Amino acid sequence: MNWPLFSVIYSIAATVTVGVFIIGALVTGFNQIPHIQIAVVAGLLLSIPAGLFFTKKVGSITGNEEGYNT
C-alpha cells in the first residue's frame, strides 16, 4: 500500500465527506452540537474505504502501488 498517497487522498476525501455531512445535517435541521459531532465522525469513518479505493485506483494507474520510488 502506498501510505503517502493514501494520506493525501484520505485528507481530501475526509474534508469533502465531513463537509457534505455537516451541510446535510444543517439543512435538515439537525443543528445541535451532538448531531454535528455525529456527522463529523461518520464522515471520517466513511472516508477510510473511499481513501483505500482511490489509492488503489491511482496506484494502479501510475504503476506505483507499493509506494516505492522506482
- pLDDT at site 2: 86
Is the model's pTM score more than 0.75?
yes
The residues, ordered by sequence, that sit 6+ positions from 23 with a Cβ below 8 Å of its Cβ are none
Domain region containing 53: 3-59
Angle at 62 between CA 57 and CA 66, to 5 degrees: 75
Task: Tell me the pLDDT band of 22, cut-offs 50, 70 and 90.
Answer: very high
**Within a domain: residue 38?**
yes
**Within a domain: residue 37?**
yes
Please say if the pLDDT value at position 53 is more than 90: yes
Please say if the pLDDT value at position 70 is more than 60: no
- pLDDT at site 65: 65
Number of domains forming the structure of the chain: 1
Q: Measured between alpha carbons, how far is 19 from 43 in angstroms, rounded to an integer?
A: 8
**Within a domain: residue 42?**
yes
**Within a domain: residue 65?**
no
